[in-house]
């Protein structure tokens, strides 16, 4: 790969900070549902942060708050020192379900953000081609989502989230709906896509998952959340060397980290 | 509504392998056309054949059992009655056709925007929706005399009756369709800072389109009902009027001929709406496409 076709974005990645963020939803019976309680967090630019926790602990809610799609009940979230009151401009989001537009081809789905943001499509053609190539979808540009498998669809969604050179990428259990083998493949796709964005440049990633192994494989930092109302229980730095490959999974350090996180859940009486 | 056509290709259903390569050069146009015609005949031949057989049995039965013509005329008698004065039938058909198409187009022009507005305004929904339902509960025949008083004996009263008969399913289907966009799709659009207009045109409307066409297909057949009912109540032209005249003359073959013309007209209009759907909607949104499972061989 030559230097001029890397996927690194020029402006630095986003710094995300959460200050005492709480979120309360009205429950159907008139009571209140506390989803998040006083979550504080400081993510440096370019970090790949894995967010793990039991289901229903408010991981997704937290992501929606960073995305600016929900407003926190109390506290505040800032991106690059600026308070989030609506979706940030250089933001990419991948949801659990791919949310592809069925009536658009793969190509037109990938270029959707360019269209919505009224950017010059011509300038992003090469990038779209390159992204699809990196996830092995070359030749499928003219296909409709309905003609693809679940794993292929999610890869299209990932390409779409990266096309507009986001400086913050939020992923909400993106691989929950695909089978274990595909999931492994997608993990390495994602590593390859984000490998070039490190140390203060490129893209900050917040990746929600309930798979401890996935979080350890992908992240620089792992946030362990408690059951509802969600709190950040532990922040674990992940010093596994990069680039991470299939071999990473058999390293003793990998298992030590996984065990470490699992014991954190044990101490909550969860596992 | 859909993206640039240049990038859309008629790709075969995907497998994980690469797409097949077409190697042979295309055959000449005439040969290709004959091939298409043959395939059409092979596919539809059995249906056409069975219909013809039914008509032949009907014709034979009415002769063998000597069924009186004023009870059930034979197919050939009906055809002869229609051919007797083709210009009369044609004139009245043209009147009804105008009423139906006019009423339907007006119904679509009012109902689709109304259904969309109902989604965007809670107040409007609470205001309009219940009265819409109440209005639908009225038998449309009951409105005909009022409409005649308001709009006179001529074309207008029938156009309006066709309109009010056709409107309801179009509004309801538009409302249902506009609410079908999945939540994550809307979140995605908002995360890209899409404007409400962009969300409407790029997400909500394409998702709603097949539903709206469903409403239009019901609407077009109801518009025929509305127009004929209007002609029944008060008119001096149209197929409904012709039906009344034939009834007064005890001309059963003519009654049947008019019914056949009505059926043909309704069908043609229905398939015209379906053709419009096929032209306007990209492949994955078409009804026929979604019904086909690419994995299953017919």
Query: Which tens digits make up the pLDDT trace of B82-136?
Result: 888 889 999 999 999 999 999 999 999 999 999 999 988 888 888 888 988 898 8
Residue B297 domain-assigned?
no
Do the chains contact at B189 and A139, CB–CB below 8 Å? no
CB crowding A143-175: b at 16 or more within 10 Å, else e = bbbbbbeebbbbbbbbbbbbbbbbbbbbbbbbb
State whether B46 and B174 are in the same domain: no
Q: What is the CATH number of the domain that holds B81?
A: 1.10.3720.10
| pLDDT category of residue A197 using cuts at 50, 70 and 90 | very low
Of the candidates B66, B81, B113, which is a domain's last residue? B66
> Which of A63, A65, A66, A101 should we substitute to test contact with B (largest number of B Cβ atoms within 10 Å)?
A101
State whether B136 and B42 are in the same domain: no
Do the chains contact at A99 and B3, CB–CB below 8 Å? no
Contacts of A86 in chain B (CB under 8 A): 193
How far apart are the C-alpha atoms of B175 and A32, rounded to whole Å? 31
Sort B141 into a burial class: Cβ within 10 Å, 0-12 / 13-18 / 19+. middle
pLDDT at B291 over 80: no
The beta-carbon neighbor of B191 closest among A87, A97, A144 is A87
Contacts of B280 in chain A (CB under 8 A): none
Contacts of B11 in chain A (CB under 8 A): 142-144, 147
Residue B52: what pLDDT? 93
Do the chains contact at A115 and B202, CB–CB below 8 Å? yes
Contacts of B13 in chain A (CB under 8 A): 147
| pLDDT category of residue B141 using cuts at 50, 70 and 90 | confident
State whether B166 and B257 are in the same domain: yes
User: Which range (A77-86, A172-181, B125-134) has the least confidence?
Assistant: A172-181
State whether B194 and B221 are in the same domain: yes
Smallest Cα distance from B185 to chain A, Å: 5
How far apart are the C-alpha atoms of A253 and A256, rounded to whole Å? 5
Do the chains contact at B19 and A87, CB–CB below 8 Å? no
How far apart are the C-alpha atoms of A94 and B203, rounded to whole Å? 17
Per-residue model confidence as pLDDT tens digits over A22-73 = 999 888 887 888 888 888 989 888 888 999 988 778 888 999 999 999 999 9
Residue B181 domain-assigned?
yes
| pLDDT category of residue A203 using cuts at 50, 70 and 90 | confident
Residue A6: what pLDDT? 53
Percentage of residues of chain A with pLDDT beyond 70: 92
From-to residues of CATH 3.40.50.300 in chain A: 12-90+169-271
Contacts of A102 in chain B (CB under 8 A): 284-285
The beta-carbon neighbor of A143 closest among B11, B194, B281 is B11
Residue B14 domain-assigned?
no
Do the chains contact at A99 and B9, CB–CB below 8 Å? no
Instruction: Collect all residues with Cβ–Cβ distance below 8 Å to A93 and sequence separation of at least 6.
Output: A67, A161, A169, A170, A171, A172, B187, B188, B191
Residue A147: what pLDDT? 93
Which range of residues forms the domain containing residue B205?
A: 72-283
The domain A12-90+169-271: what is its CATH number? 3.40.50.300
Sort B85 into a burial class: Cβ within 10 Å, 0-12 / 13-18 / 19+. exposed
* B252 vs A189, higher pLDDT: B252
Contacting A residues, span 12-51, partner chain B, CB-CB under 8 Å: none
Smallest Cα distance from B292 to chain A, Å: 12
Average pLDDT, chain A: 86
The count of domains in chain B is: 2
State whether B53 and B86 are in the same domain: no
How far apart are the C-alpha atoms of A7 and A158, rounded to whole Å? 14
State whether B52 and B200 are in the same domain: no
> Which of B3, B8, B15, B192 should we substitute to test contact with A (largest number of A Cβ atoms within 10 Å)?
B192
Do the chains contact at A96 and B283, CB–CB below 8 Å? no
Smallest Cα distance from A160 to chain B, Å: 11
Region for A81 from its dihedrals, namely left if φ exceeds 0, alpha if ψ lies in -120 to 50, beta otherwise: left
**What's the half-sphere exposure (Cβ side, CA atoms, 13 Å) at B14?**
21
Contacting A residues, span 98-137, partner chain B, CB-CB under 8 Å: 99, 101-105, 107-108, 111-113, 115-117
> Which of B5, B9, B14 should we substitute to test contact with A (largest number of A Cβ atoms within 10 Å)?
B14
* B55 vs A202, higher pLDDT: B55
Residues of B with CB under 8 A from a CB of A: 1-4, 7-9, 11, 13-14, 16, 18-19, 182, 184-185, 187-194, 198, 202-203, 206, 281-285, 294
- How many C-beta atoms surround the C-beta of residue A268 within 10 A? 14
pLDDT at A93 over 50: yes
Q: Which residue of A has its CA nearest to B193?
A: A87
How far apart are the C-alpha atoms of A121 and A166, rounded to whole Å? 16
DSSP A42: E
Smallest Cα distance from B1 to chain A, Å: 9
Q: Which two three-digit tokens encode residue B116?
A: 């969309």
Contacts of B182 in chain A (CB under 8 A): 97, 99
Smallest Cα distance from A142 to chain B, Å: 5
Q: Which residue of B has its CA nearest to A172?
A: B184
pLDDT at A9 over 80: no
| pLDDT category of residue B168 using cuts at 50, 70 and 90 | very high
| pLDDT category of residue A119 using cuts at 50, 70 and 90 | very high
Residue A265: what pLDDT? 81
């Amino acid at each position: 790969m030559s230097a001029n076709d890397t996927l690194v974005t020029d402006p630095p990645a986003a710094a995300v900070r959460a200050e005492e963020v709480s979120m309360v939803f009205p429950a159907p019976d008139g009571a209140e549902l506390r989803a998040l309680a006083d979550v504080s967090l400081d993510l440096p630019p370019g970090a790949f942060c894995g967010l793990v926790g039991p289901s229903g602990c408010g991981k997704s809610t937290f992501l929606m708050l960073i995305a600016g799609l929900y407003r926190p009940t109390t506290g505040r979230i800032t991106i690059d020192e600026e308070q989030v009151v609506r979706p940030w401009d250089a933001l990419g989001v991948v949801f659990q379900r791919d949310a592809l537009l069925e009536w658009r081809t793969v190509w037109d789905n990938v270029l959707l953000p360019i269209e919505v943001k009224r950017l010059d499509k011509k300038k992003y053609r090469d990038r779209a081609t390159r992204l699809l190539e990196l996830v092995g979808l070359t030749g499928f540009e003219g296909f409709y989502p309905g003609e693809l498998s679940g794993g292929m669809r999610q890869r299209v969604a990932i390409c779409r989230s990266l096309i507009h050179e986001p400086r913050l990428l939020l992923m909400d259990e993106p691989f929950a709906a695909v089978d274990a083998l595909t999931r492994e493949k997608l993990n390495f796709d994602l590593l390859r896509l984000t490998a070039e964005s490190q140390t203060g440049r490129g893209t900050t990633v917040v990746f929600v998952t309930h798979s401890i192994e996935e979080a350890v494989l992908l992240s620089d930092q792992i946030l362990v959340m408690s059951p509802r109302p969600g709190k950040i229980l532990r922040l674990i730095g992940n010093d596994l060397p990069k680039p991470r490959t299939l071999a990473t999974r058999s390293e003793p350090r990998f298992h030590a980290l996984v065990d470490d996180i699992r014991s954190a859940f044990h101490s909550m009486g969860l596992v | 509504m859909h993206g640039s056509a240049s990038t859309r290709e008629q790709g075969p259903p995907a497998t994980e392998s690469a797409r097949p390569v077409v190697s042979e050069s295309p055959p000449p146009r005439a040969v290709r056309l004959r091939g298409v015609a043959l395939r059409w005949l092979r596919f539809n031949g059995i249906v056409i054949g069975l219909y013809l057989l039914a008509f032949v049995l009907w014709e034979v039965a009415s002769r063998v059992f000597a069924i009186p013509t004023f009870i059930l005329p034979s197919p050939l008698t009906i055809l002869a009655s229609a051919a007797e004065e083709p210009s009369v039938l044609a004139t009245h058909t043209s009147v009804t056709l105008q009423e139906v198409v006019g009423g339907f187009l007006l119904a679509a022009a009012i109902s689709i925007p109304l259904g969309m507005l109902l989604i965007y305004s809670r107040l409007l929904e609470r205001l309009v929706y219940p009265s819409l339902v109440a209005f639908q509960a009225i038998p449309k025949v009951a409105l005909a005399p009022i409409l005649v008083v308001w709009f006179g004996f001529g074309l207008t009263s029938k156009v309006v009756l066709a309109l009010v008969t056709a409107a309801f399913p179009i509004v309801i289907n538009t409302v249902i369709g506009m609410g079908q966009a999945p939540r994550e799709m809307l979140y995605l659009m908002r995360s890209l800072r899409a404007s409400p207009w962009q969300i409407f045109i790029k997400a909500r409307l394409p998702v709603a389109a097949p539903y709206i066409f469903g409403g239009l297909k019901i609407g077009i057949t109801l518009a025929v009902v509305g127009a004929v009912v209007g002609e029944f109540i008060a008119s001096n032209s149209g197929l409904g009027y012709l039906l009344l005249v034939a009834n007064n003359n005890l001309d059963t073959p003519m009654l049947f001929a008019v019914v056949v013309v009505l059926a043909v007209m309704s069908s043609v209009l229905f398939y015209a709406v379906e053709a419009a759907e096929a032209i306007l909607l990209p492949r994955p949104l078409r009804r026929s496409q979604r019904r086909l499972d690419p994995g299953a061989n017919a």
